[in-house]
Structure 1
């Protein structure tokens, strides 16, 4: 409620000040006011319509799109409040003079409708800003009803203060008012930055920087007054994430400095380019240091792993070259298996996206016996095969053998995630009392990476991928933001130089008119008539005091 009250009061007072200055100008020059009021009413209606339409559109969207729209509205609100603070910081002191100059120019172009258009655009700008800012604050608030009540009270208070300023019933130090409310709104906008970053994550747009930083549940418990003040007004969540804290500081520090920096400490026009150049250099150096110094750790999948099961222990070592891969094993199951590019597929293994390599080859069975007994079959299969009765089919049996090996390798980058080699042996038995031939299949694992080793590697790979993703915030996105800030400072330097050159050219042209005589070095003495006219004018038109004073 407090945040929306201050927003309504400040934005409303800006609009009422502009309307009041225009109304005073119209009254002083005896120009009808009703076109101005028509423009003000139309602008207010359009502003309210914008807020209602945005809210209705958001409510009609699915959940993920709602979160995305909230992030967009929050970002736009932050831009609006920042430009508002900067504009008031720059123009508050001379706002009345500037508006009256614009009003005079508008009046010279036509009737009261020109001033009505001026009032319409001014109020429409403030109304749009207020609608978007309030809507973003409503979305971040835990109690929408109280937030709306605060906004209404703020706007009504602004109207009352503006009327009293117009009638001269009250005098207000607008500089201090706008500075104080501006500081408060900087903190509110910084909270909106955090809220926008969180809703963007919930919309699936921002996936980096989601590590938790500190636990603030003790400071802002849910349902408490402190929680309503800290979370509802300042937007600080009980569990801020890394990207949210970074966004909060990156917005709060420069904008707060801009709002509070004393005018006496501002650099002179001649020193400002040097200050901007220093800032640009600092931003550029910081971007380069972050990009080079912050790097992801080495890949988590090892190139050599220990083997188990099957024919005994050993090691497996993988090497990749071009589009192929090779795995070499040691121990009793020593072998070298090469994989071509056609053997490669992308698959998920143990929850990790990996390259799966698979190849199958025939195996010589020359060492297998041509005949086997029942005892040999029990040794081979661990039991008497189904369909053979030692009493009725005592053997020995004629054996026809065939075998093939399938080697499967899962790699992540250039390391081994998992690997195994399986052999399938097929034997066809005949004779020995069998009426018909019988075919049996024997599957065995010659070697494999233990499952616990593969699972540990998968966990390490997932952790590594998370680290790489999180570090991208520091070695990619933050350097990009710093580089943009540096380029902006360079652009500001070039723009100020162009403006200075243009002003110098205009000053030279004014100082030496093209039709001035060459010997016009003698000082000019004003004519008595002109001096008298100036004195008379100054006496007959003394400066008017105005309630719209910025000190």
Structure 2
């Protein structure tokens, strides 16, 4: 409530001053105030329509989009209030005289409508800024009703003060008023920076810098006066994140120093240029250091994965698998009691899919082979054992007593998933097929062997958990690196270039001014000593 009251009072007073000065000029010169009041009323209605429209659009969006729009509105509000604070800090002292001069000039051209348009544009500007700033403040407020009440009270106070100034009954030091309220609004705007960063995270825009810093739950317990002041007014949450703390300081410190640094201690023109070059160089050095000092994260995982039986539940170690660094990549599979084999992973055969919640490259490789030491003939009892203790369909023990000629083939399917150069998962399934003939069979009979040679395996659950955890940690670390080693250095580098360009422009102006002074003729040159101009 306090924040919205100050916003309404400050913005409303600025608009009331403009309207009051224009009204005084019109009344003094015998002009009608009707056109001016129509312009003021239209500007107020348009400002309300902007605020209501933005709120309706936000409410119609999905939740994530609402959070994103709140971030955008918060950023615009911070931009508006910062510009207002800086401008008022520089012009508040002469604001009244400047407005009177502009009004006199407009009236001197014989047009009362020019003053009405001036009032309309001034109120529209302040009303639009107020609507955006209040909408952003409502989003961060603990109670929208109290926030709205504070805004209404602030605007009404501004109208009363403006009326008092208009009739001459109220005297106010505008410079001191705007300087005091500016200090408060800087804190409010810094809180809006925190709110905008938090809603940007909830919208999925900012995922880095979310590490907890300090817990302020002891200070901003819900329902307390401290919570209403610190969280409700200043926008500081009980659990500020790292990026929110950095954003708060990055906004508050430079703006406060720029606005409130004593005028007597402000550097002169040459010192300003040197300071600008120094700050630009420091920003560039920091940007380069951040880009270089933060390494690219790599998965920290053992290269060898344990293989277990696919049908077992005890996760017994039966071998290992290792992903090579060669091109193309291969997987070396070593099963106990068998000869190690190599599975090649051609890049062109890979497909991209989600596996264990991770974006991975996947291969499905099929191989047909003859089982080693497979018997060429099978008795009826062996056939029944291969079929799981049942007589296969199509065989009659009386008509087909055996032995049978056996034609064996093994269809082995291996699936491999890799991500970021890490073996994420692998499974193998082997199906042995026997084609029986002879012993009275009119046509070959095919059966799938239920007890084939060992070949079904998978990676252990422990390895799968470790691989998923390592890859998720790398993804999070790369998100962090994108912010600290790429995005922030780019912002700092742009700021350094901009500040350097401003410093070069200032130095050029200083050189031109020195050259102009040196080119002016010296009135004492060419006169004899001791003589002076009469």
TM-score, normalised to structure 1's length?
0.83
Q: Could you say which residue in structure 1 is the equivalent of 2:377? A: 371
Among 423, 431, 435, the residue aligned to 2:430 = 423
Candidates 292, 298, 315, aligned match of 2:320: 315
| Alignment partner, residue 272 of structure 2 | 272
SS of structure 2 residue aligned to 1:169: coil
1:149-548 maps to which residues of 2 (within 5 A)? 149-300=149-300, 302-309=302-309, 313-321=318-326, 324-331=328-335, 332-365=338-371, 367-373=373-379, 376=382, 383=389, 386-387=392-393, 395-431=402-438, 437-442=444-449, 444-445=454-455, 447-497=457-507, 500=510
What displacement does 1:355 show? 0.8
What are the equivalent positions in structure 2 for 1:40-189 lying under 5 Å apart? 40-189=40-189
Name the SS of the counterpart of 1:329 in structure 2: strand
Cα gap change, 1:424/1:487 in structure 2, threshold over 3 Å: closer, same or farther?
same
User: Aligned residue for 2:20?
Assistant: 20
**Structure 1 residues 406-415 or 240-249, which shifts more?**
240-249
Seen in structure 2, the aligned counterparts of structure 1 residues 347 and 61 have a Cα distance that, compared at 3 Å, is closer
8 A contact 1:430–1:438 mirrored in 2: yes
Give the superposition deviation at 1:141: 1.8
Q: CA deviation at 1:150?
A: 0.8
Question: Could you tell me how far 1:354 is from its partner in structure 2?
Answer: 0.9
Q: 2:435 touches 2:447 (CA, 8 Å); kept in 1?
A: yes
Root mean square deviation of aligned Cα: 3.4
Structure 1 gap segments, 5+ residues each: 526-551
Secondary structure of 2:270's counterpart equals coil
1:329-350 Cα deviation digits (max 9, x unpaired): 3353401222323421112222
CA distance in 2 between counterparts of 1:196 and 1:383 reads: 69
Change (3 A) 1:371 1:50: same
Q: Is the 8 A contact 1:301 1:414 kept in 2?
A: no
Identify the residue that residue 313 of structure 2 maps to in structure 1: none
| Cα distance in 1 between the residues matched to 2:104 and 2:516 | 24
Conserved 8 A contact 1:209-1:243:
yes
Change (3 A) 1:497 1:121: farther
Alpha-carbon distance between aligned partners in 2 of 1:70 and 1:243, rounded to the nearest angstrom: 18
Contact preservation (8 Å) 2:213, 2:239: yes
Superposed displacement of residue 37, structure 1: 3.8
**CA separation of 1:417 and 1:167: change in aligned 2, threshold 3 A:** same
Instruction: State the alpha-carbon separation in 1 of the partners of residues 178 and 381 from structure 2.
Output: 99
Secondary structure, aligned partner of 2:40 = helix
- For residues 59 and 343 of structure 2, what CA distance do their matches in structure 1 show? 59
* Aligned mates of 1:175, 1:303 — CA distance in 2: 69
Distance 2:499 2:191 in 1: 26
The answer on whether the counterparts of 2:380 and 2:401 sit within 8 Å (CA) in structure 1 is: yes
**Is residue 403–residue 425 contact of structure 1 (8 Å, CA) maintained in 2?**
yes
Number of aligned residue pairs:
520
Q: Separation in 2 of the partners of 1:450 and 1:148?
A: 60
